């Protein structure tokens, strides 16, 4: 089952009293495909949304509705409730105070505690959310521009950052921020799916942290190796030209230890000298060796 499917399943399982059923069906009706005095058409590819719509219509209006199923070219099934009984539609419009003009959200007819359930109904009618392991994206494909704006305002009232874009004739209210998606899912009653997103975020953050540490370690290793190779190059030049015996005992010991141990860090070299010294002390000796090598390259020594 897709992540959107799990959200719908969790939502539907929580609609268990009269007020919630009334509010949820209102959201599903207000954002369905067609809503006119002559026709109500609710369409979905979700089995959960389809069954929930039929169940709520029967519970609230005592009307058993027939659902039509049609196989689409992509292999999915389109579930359709097509209502043309104008008397019944008038009863629905009257119960929800739906005008014959434009669709608008009338929060006065919804119990304050059921506003989230109304939004859950909107999600069941036209919402979807991507798998959080791939992308953070939640959207509502709204039938009209005005009601899309009202939905965006509703979401912003609960602190959710939402925007609108026109896509293939539909007004899409979308949310990209992961925290806003979590807030939306919690608001509509899908708290378990919210926890899934949080777990995915924790996993992604840990993976990114491990990668950063690994990249940092690799960079440090590269720096140590490159520095050691340059030190060895300087020491070999000195050995070929003036010989290591020309160096002071301290420099010669450091040079020989480096030639024998190319993978040692400066601290490790310092610890293995006959008289151990600090990392900065070892670095100081190699700087002297570097200066001698540079003088040889410039012709200062023969």
Cβ count within 10 A of residue 66:
9
Question: 50: closest CA among 12, 87, 21, 17?
Answer: 12
pLDDT value, residue 22: 94
Instruction: Supply the pLDDT for residue 8.
Output: 94
What mean pLDDT comes out for the span 142-152?
93
Phi first, then psi, for residue 41 (nearest 5°) are -125, 115
Position 301 confidence tier, pLDDT thresholds 50, 70, 90:
very low
| pLDDT score recorded for residue 1 | 85
pLDDT at 43 over 80: yes
The CATH architecture annotation of domain 3-189 reads Roll (3.10)
Torsion of CA 156, 158, 161, 166, to 10 degrees: -50
**Which pLDDT score, from 0 to 100, does residue 205 have?**
79
Cα–Cα nearest to 159, from 140, 125, 187, 137: 187
Residue carrying structure tokens 């997103």? 197
Measuring CA to CA, which residue among 72, 74, 7, 66 is closest to residue 42?
A: 66
Q: Read off the pLDDT of residues 160-210 as tens digits, 9 standing for 90 and up.
A: 989 999 998 889 999 999 999 999 999 999 999 999 898 888 888 777 777
Contact 197, 181 (CB under 8 A): yes
Question: CA angle at residue 141 from 138 to 146, to 5 degrees?
Answer: 115
Q: Name the residue among 262, 192, 257 with its Cα closest to residue 225.
A: 262
Question: What is the pLDDT of the chain when averaged over all its residues?
Answer: 90
Q: What is the pTM of this model?
A: 0.70
The answer on pLDDT for 113 being more than 90 is: no
Per-residue pLDDT tens digits for 26-40: 999 999 999 999 999
CB 137 within 8 A of CB 176: yes
CA separation for the pair 289, 244 (Å, rounded): 10
Q: Which of 67, 60, 51 is nearest to 13 (CA)?
A: 51
CB distance 258 to 228 below 8 Å: yes
- The rounded radius of gyration (Å) of the Cα atoms in the chain is 35
The ranges of the chain annotated as CATH 3.10.28.10 are 3-189
């Amino acid at each position: 089952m897709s992540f959107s499917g799990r959200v719908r399943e969790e939502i539907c399982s929580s609609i268990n009293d009269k007020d919630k059923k009334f509010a949820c069906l209102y959201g599903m009706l207000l954002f369905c495909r067609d809503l006119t005095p002559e026709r109500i058409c609710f369409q979905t590819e979700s089995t959960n949304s389809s069954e929930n719509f039929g169940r709520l219509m029967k519970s609230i209006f005592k009307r058993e509705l027939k659902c039509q199923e049609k196989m689409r070219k992509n292999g999915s099934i389109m579930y359709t409730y097509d209502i043309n009984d104008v008397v019944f539609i008038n009863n629905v419009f009257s119960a929800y105070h739906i005008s014959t003009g434009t669709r608008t959200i009338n929060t006065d007819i919804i119990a304050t505690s059921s506003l989230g359930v109304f939004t859950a109904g909107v999600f069941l009618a036209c919402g979807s959310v991507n798998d959080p392991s791939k992308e953070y994206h939640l959207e509502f494909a709204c039938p009209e521009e005005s009601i899309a704006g009202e939905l965006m305002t509703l979401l912003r009232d609960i602190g959710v950052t939402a925007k609108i874009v026109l896509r293939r004739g539909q007004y899409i209210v979308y949310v990209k921020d992961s925290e806003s998606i979590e807030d939306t899912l919690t608001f509509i009653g899908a708290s378990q799916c919210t926890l899934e997103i949080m777990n995915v975020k924790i996993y992604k953050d840990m993976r990114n942290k491990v990668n950063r540490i690994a990249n940092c370690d690799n960079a440090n290793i590269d720096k140590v190796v490159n520095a050691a190779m340059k030190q060895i190059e300087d020491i070999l030049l000195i050995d070929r030209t003036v010989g290591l015996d020309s160096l002071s005992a301290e420099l010669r010991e450091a040079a020989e230890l480096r030639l024998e141990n190319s993978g040692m860090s400066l601290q490790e070299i310092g610890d293995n000298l006959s008289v151990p010294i600090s990392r900065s002390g070892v670095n100081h000796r190699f700087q002297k060796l570097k200066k001698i090598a540079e003088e040889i390259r410039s012709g200062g020594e023969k």
